[in-house]
Structures are given as C-alpha cells and as structure tokens.
Structure 1
Amino acid sequence: MKDGIENLLDKRLIVVSNREPYIHKKIRGEIKCERAIGGLTSSLDAMMQSFNGIWIAWGSGSGDKEMSDSENRVLVPDDNPRYTLRRVWLSENEVSNHYYGFSNSVLWPLFHNFLDKVKLKRSYWNAYRRANRKFALSVLDELNPGDLIWIHDYHLCLLPHLIRNENEDSEIGFFLHTPWPPWEIFRTLPMRREILEGLLDSNILGFHTKNYVENFMQCVKEEFNCPVYMGKGMAEINGRKIRIGDFPIGIDAKEFSSISSFKRINQRAKIVRRRLNVRYVVFSIDRLDYTKGIPERLKAIERFFEKYPKFRKRVVFIQVANPSRTKVEEYKEMKRYVDELVGRINGRFRDFDWAPIHYLYRNISREEVIAYYLASDVALVTPLVDGMNLISKEFVSTKEKSGVLILSEFAGAAGQLNDAILANPYDFDEVAGVIKRALEMSNREKNRRLKVLKENVRNYDICWWLKKFFEEWIR
C-alpha cells in the first residue's frame, strides 16, 4: 500500500469519516472487535496500517466507550496495533437528526437527484452543525503542524471550514463518495451556501467523475459569482485557490483475485451452482436503498421472462439485499415492497422445482460474496444513480475466463468500464434485452470483454487512486 505514495512518510495523516474502521460490540457479555464491512474503510485501513497516523470517526459500537481511553482513543487493529482510532461520541438526538436526518434524509437524496425524497427539518440542520463541530474539536485536538487532514463524505461537509476557522494553515483534503447534483437541483437546498463554504475551505476537493466536478464548479460559480477554471480544475474564492478534480476510486484487485482462488471459496461456488441446478446464474448485490434500483431491476427480470419464455427454468436471478437504515420508515416500506414484488414474480413464473428469483435479505461476508461472483455467469449492476459502484469492479477482478458485466449507464463506473454492457435501468425492455444478449454471447466475446475489463480494474486500483489524489494534493 506504500507503493507510489512514499512521500507521505514525512507527514502524518489524519483521516476523518463518519464510519469507523473497527467497531467494538458487546455480545453476550463479552466485547468483540469487528472490522467494518465496506470497500472504503477496508482500503483506507490498509493504508493507515502502512503509514500510521490517526483515524477520527463516530464511535457507534455498544462496546466502543469501554475500549477507549480517557482521551477517546484506542489502538487498532486489536491483534496487531498499527494506528490510533479516535472516537467522536454523538448523542441519540444527534444520531437521529444528524445521521438519519440531515445526512441521509436531506443530503443523500439531494446528491442522488431524488428531490421528492428530501425531508428537511430545522432540527436536522442544527444537529448536523453540532455533529460537525464535535468532529472539528477532535481534529483540532489531535492536529500537529504539517499534518494532512483527509475528510470523507457528505456527513462532514462543514468540517473543512470549521477547522480552517481555528487553524488557518491546515492542509485539508476532502473526498465526496456520492455524486454531486446539477445546480438546478442543488439550489433547492436552503443552506446550500453554508455547505459550499464548508467544502471550499479545503485545499483540494475530490469527486469520482468529471461530470460531478463540472456540476460542483457550476454550483460554486452560480452561488458566489467567483472565477472557476474548468480546464484547470480550480476555483478561486476570497483570495484562496481550491483544486477540484476527478479521482475515480478503485479496489484492491490483487486481493480480490487472490481470495477468489481459495479452494474453500471455489467449493462454495460449486455448491451454489449444484443447488440451483440451472444453465445460467445472474447475480446482484446491493444495500437496500432506493438509489440502487432493486424494484426496477426486478421488474426488468419479470419483463425478461415475459419476452423470452425459453429461458424459464434455465436461468436463476440471485438478489442479495443488505439491510440498510432499518429504523427509517421509508426503508421499511421499501423492504415490504421488494418482498411483495419478489413473491409476485416468483408466484407468476415458478414451477415445482424452480423459482426465477432467489432473494436474500441479510448481510453476507466478503467470502460469500466472492463465491457468488464465481458461481455467476452475469453480474447485473443497475443502480438508478451511483457515485462509483465497486461491485462491478469486484465481480470483474474475481472472474478468470468468462463472466459478463451488465452495468447501469448512471453508475460512476460506467465511464471507466467501457467493455461492460451498459443499460438504462429505467427501461425494462432494454435491460431484459441485454440480459438475453449477455446469456447468448459467445465465449470468445465474453473472454475479450473480460480481459479488457480486468486490465482496467488492475491498472486503476486502490493504490492508483491514492497515488493520484495525494500527488495532486501535495505537489
């Protein structure tokens, strides 16, 4: 993980995110440490273990306080401590109104262009400001001269401004892992100016795609009537120049490729195929979230079996839905709707020894996910909108000879993975057609496409992402 960013060695890195990389949970009277699931936390954890430093995050685990010292710090990982995790404590009110409220009921839908799902309350905004101030106090308490502060994601948009107000010379990078919406959508947010001011006190701002960069710079231009230089990736405000660029995140492709070769995982994949007992397996996995397009995907699958009845009893679709924001009523309603949709489609087409959709509503381990990748002929990755989407890259990195990727044209990854079959997730007939095309594709064409995709994922992996961001930051 050090490879290519050795120049960080003379600077200490402070990573700041809402989510913590290690969570201590009380389980039957004992406290156990769990590594957080997720591509971002896993990748940054590997980097932090290489370079040391401090990670500041919300302490969300039931055993977190007991395992932290008087200064809210704990060394991680437990079994081989390599860096310091400092925890920020949020009250129940702040979790409800900052995390579930402003972050995920206002900014999340707004940044994904779902204006109808924005639920704005003044109490949400007040809690968001309070939570960002708590994070700022923790950062300032840890900050030494020369440190690099790297802030991640939409939960902490005010943080760069709060830090710079107290320490003008701070070196601050910010990376947004969601899309950034067009001005016509962003302008509907009453506190849009404060959000922009918060972000613009960074030295460098990173997004996944050029489109998100252009959207952000247009918002800055419209709100502040200040110079923005699209070609140079720079904005100038109050005498400060802020670098703004696209840095599409990658995965640890070598690690995924290595794990996919494990004997136990290949055996598990064979068991999946044997139990399904069909010619083709199509696989999808997502958080249960309206941006992921699960209902639309299920309707496209229904259309597939309507239009192409020859594939009945020859194809099984596996949909894994990871529980998400289960306390939010809208997500509860979505789960009920997806459950009903799966039941109706299966009831319509199933036979006594075959059901078209196998639906799993639970979290599954990374090894289980990779086993499903290996067992599948096609990955159906069709979010309605997505900042990047790493599932598409993971699938590609685990396949050796054949495997077809169907990818939404509205995923950030679509700009990189040109040899995927792109589809509009809102067009059920189109998605049904590309599924048929993927299943009937010749082995030669499958192998050609996969080879190009694998090379892309390997070349633009997580190390490339880190190197590109830091080279731009500290040059």
Structure 2
Amino acid sequence: MAMTRLVVVSNRVPSAAELAPGQEGAAVVGGLVSAVKTLMLRQQGLWMGWSGRTTTRRRSDPPTIELSGGPVELATIDLALDESYLYYLGFSNRTLWPLFHTFPERVDVRHDTFRAYQRVYERFATSLFPLLGKNDLVWVHDYQLILVGEYLRRLGWKGKIGFFLHIPFPSPDVFEMLPWARDLLNGLLEYDLLGFHTQRYRQNFVDVMDREVGGIWNDPH
C-alpha cells in the first residue's frame, strides 16, 4: 500500500533551512508554521505557498521546488506585485480579516481585490495539481486560501482535502454582509473536513449552514 503524503498549502512557507534535519526544535516565525512544522517533520510531505517574492508582471511559471535535506519538499510560487497587494493586503487583510473578527465597520469591499483573490487561489491550485499523487492528503490553511479546495475539485482532484481556519468564523448576520459570502460558503463545502479553533466558531459555521438550508439566506446578488 502506498504511503499517504501530507501536502500542506498555506500563504507562506518556512525556509528550507528551518525544515532541515536537526532543526526540529528551532523557533520559526508565525503561529501557523510553528503548529504545522513538527507534524511535517515526522513524515514525508510537501509544503506549498507563496515565496514572498514579487514580479513586475503576472506570470504562470511552474512552482520552484526546494529540498530541505529532510522529509519535506517546498514548492513556492511568485506573485505579481499588484496581486500581492490586492489579494493579500487587500481582500485577505482588509476584507476577510476584519469581517471574520466581527469588525464590520472596518471591512473594505472592493470588486478588484476579490478578483485578485480569485486569480491567486486559482494560481495556487493550478500550480499544485500536477504535483499531487493519488494517495496524497491535502491540508489547506487559513482565510487567504479558502477557495483553493474548490478549484482543485474543478481541476479533477478526487483525493481528500481538509481545511483549517486559524481565525474566528463569524455569526451568520456578520458573514452575510460580504457580497461574496455564498462563494466562500460553497468553497468551504468542497472540503472533506473543516477545522475551527473553538466550538463557538464551529457553531457559527453550522448556524450559517442552517440558515442556508432553511431558505432564509440573505443573498446580496
């Protein structure tokens, strides 16, 4: 029986040096990386994310593969400067982050930032898809990449995909304030397993689902 490989997808990745043998206890920057690093070092895996580098033009180069010297490979992609601004600083951090933390007065709703968010998650998915084996377990992380799983399904990926949200999930009344709330909900439903930090955040998601199934969804479109 083929071994299951864990494939982690996150906005940023640790450096190859941080994943090298003998670095199991070394400190890393960022809670997500700290939480996942130990697990990844215990088994063979692939970790994909944005390299942190930007280009002057949008490109579709295949991901760069780095070997850590240990069991984990790194796959990174570069983003165009405008994409990194609109997707990361824009939709992720000025729209989703305040909305999910229930600061609706701080939410910046702009169609251009959502379009950039779509372009980037499609880029993540199309870059990752050729690297996947049929026994891989894909684990997508956090609000920056909510829709990656849905696009992997569109590309034909039939394997298991999980998603963990590292920030709160808001109540239905707050969640529905987003013009693209239905898009995010449909994307979340493409995952085989969803993880939330607390029972409260899980219940908020269940309440959103109850409202949707009950037919009282307030769709702004």
Is the TM-score greater than 0.5?
A: yes
Tell me which residue corresponds to 2:195: 206
Instruction: Report 1:66-465 matches (<5 A).
Output: 71-76=63-68, 80-225=69-214
Whether 1:53 aligns to 2:45 is yes
The amino acid of 1:112's aligned partner reads H
Q: Which residue of 1 aligns with 2:15?
A: 22
Q: What is the deviation of 1:23?
A: 7.4
Q: Which residue of 2 aligns with 1:368?
A: none
**1:22, 1:35 within 8 Å by CA — same for their partners in 2?**
no
CA 1:51–1:160: 2 relative to 1, 3 Å:
same
SS at match of 1:150: strand
User: Contact 2:129–2:157 (CA<8 Å) still a contact in 1?
Assistant: no
SS at match of 1:11: coil
* Partner secondary structure for residue 169 of structure 2: coil
Q: C-alpha distance in 2, partners of 1:124/1:35? A: 33
Match of 1:40 in 2: 32
Q: Kindly tell me: are residues 146 and 111 of structure 1, through their superposed partners in 2, closer, same or farther at Cα, counting changes over 3 Å? A: same
SS in 1 for 2:79: coil
Q: TM-score, normalised by structure 2?
A: 0.84
User: Does the 8 Å contact 1:172/1:202 carry over to 2?
Assistant: yes
- Relative to 1, partners in 2 of residues 1:203 and 1:185: Cα closer, same or farther, differing over 3 Å? same
Deviation for aligned residue 1:87: 0.3
User: What's the CA shift for 1:167?
Assistant: 2.2
Say which of 6, 10, 14 aligns to 2:3: 10
Instruction: Report % sequence identity.
Output: 37
**RMSD of equivalent CA atoms:** 2.2
Amino acid at match of 1:116: E
Does structure 2 retain, via aligned residues, the 8 Å contact 1:163–1:170? no
In the alignment, structure 1 segments of 5+ residues that lack a partner are 1-8, 25-33, 63-69, 227-475
How far does residue 95 in structure 1 lie from its aligned partner after superposition?
A: 0.6
For the residues of structure 2 that align with 1:87 and 1:133, how far apart are their CA atoms? Answer: 14
In the TM superposition, residue 46 of structure 1 has moved relative to its aligned partner by 2.0
Query: What is the CA–CA distance in structure 1 between the aligned matches of 2:114 and 2:92, rounded to whole Å?
Result: 9
The CA deviation string for residues 323-366 of structure 1, in whole angstroms up to 9 with x for no partner, is xxxxxxxxxxxxxxxxxxxxxxxxxxxxxxxxxxxxxxxxxxxx
> After superposition, what is the alpha-carbon deviation per residue over 1:257-306, rounded to whole angstroms, capped at 9, x for unaligned?
xxxxxxxxxxxxxxxxxxxxxxxxxxxxxxxxxxxxxxxxxxxxxxxxxx
Distance 1:204 1:112 in 2: 22
Structure 1 counterpart SS, 2:67: strand
CA distance in 2, matches of 1:129, 1:122: 11
Query: Rg larger in 1 or in 2?
Result: 1
Task: Find the residue that maps to 1:116 and give its secondary structure.
Answer: helix
Letter paired with 2:119? R
Tell me the CA shift for residue 38 of structure 1. 2.0
Give the structure with the higher percent helix.
1
Residue 16 of structure 1 aligns to which amino acid in structure 2? Answer: V
How far, CA to CA, are the matches of 1:194 and 1:225 in structure 2? 18
Task: Tell me how far apart the structure 2 counterparts of residues 144 and 12 of structure 1 sit (CA, whole Å).
Answer: 8
Q: TM-score, normalised by structure 1?
A: 0.40
**Deviation digits for residues 449-468 of structure 1 (CA, Å, limit 9, x no counterpart):** xxxxxxxxxxxxxxxxxxxx
Give distance in 2, aligned partners of 1:43 and 1:180.
Answer: 19
Check whether the contact 2:53–2:78 (CA below 8 A) recurs between aligned residues: no
CA distance in 2, matches of 1:102, 1:215: 21
> Which structure exhibits the higher relative contact order, with contacts defined as CA atoms closer than 8 Å and separated by 6 or more residues?
2
3-state SS, counterpart of residue 16 of structure 1? strand
The secondary structure found in structure 1 opposite 2:11 is coil
- Inter-partner Cα distance in structure 2 for 1:35 and 1:20: 14
Alpha-carbon contact 2:16-2:74 (below 8 Å) kept? no
